[in-house]
Amino acid sequence: MLRINHRIEIPDAELVESFIRASGPGGQNVNKVSSAVELRFDARLSPSLPDAVRARLIGLAGRRATKQGVIVIRAERFRTQERNRADARDRLKRLIVRAAATPRARIKTRPSRASVERRLSAKARRGSLKRTRRDSPPLDG
């Protein structure tokens, strides 16, 4: 069971782990031991996630999410399978925690009348400066 917070828990049956050989240097065991972990979580079909969290999660996952809504996390940072497995689960948990946080609603605001007037007068000054440059005759040297 992967516990996210007091409301969201993901059973182990929804997580699919496969063990593969890690890339990069690794000494004598690099071609013999499958220490890297590929963790797959089908976010789109998961009954454990509320709809709003599911939508934010797939968006936050970015390229880690497939078109079918499956989140794939590959962990190969450590040399042991157990540590890589814990790392993959932790990264998935942090991603879901970020998705579970509801974003604050944007409050629509208007600029003050004084700020609008300042902006427009600055535009007028700049425009008149450019106009005087354009209309002046070329200097003969």
23-32, 50-59, 111-120: which has the minimum mean pLDDT?
23-32
What is the phi/psi pair of residue 39, to 5°?
-100, 125
Helix (H, G, I), strand (E, B) or coil at 35: coil
Residue range 65-102, pLDDT digits in tens: 888 888 899 888 888 888 988 999 999 889 888 888 88
Domains and CATH numbers, the chain: 2-100 (3.30.160.20)
Tens of pLDDT, residue by residue over 105-129, are 999 999 999 999 999 999 999 999 9
Whether the CA torsion 100, 59, 74, 23 is positive or negative: it is: negative
Which pTM value belongs to this model? 0.67
For residue 111, the surrounding DSSP H or E stretch is none
Amino acid, res. 53: V
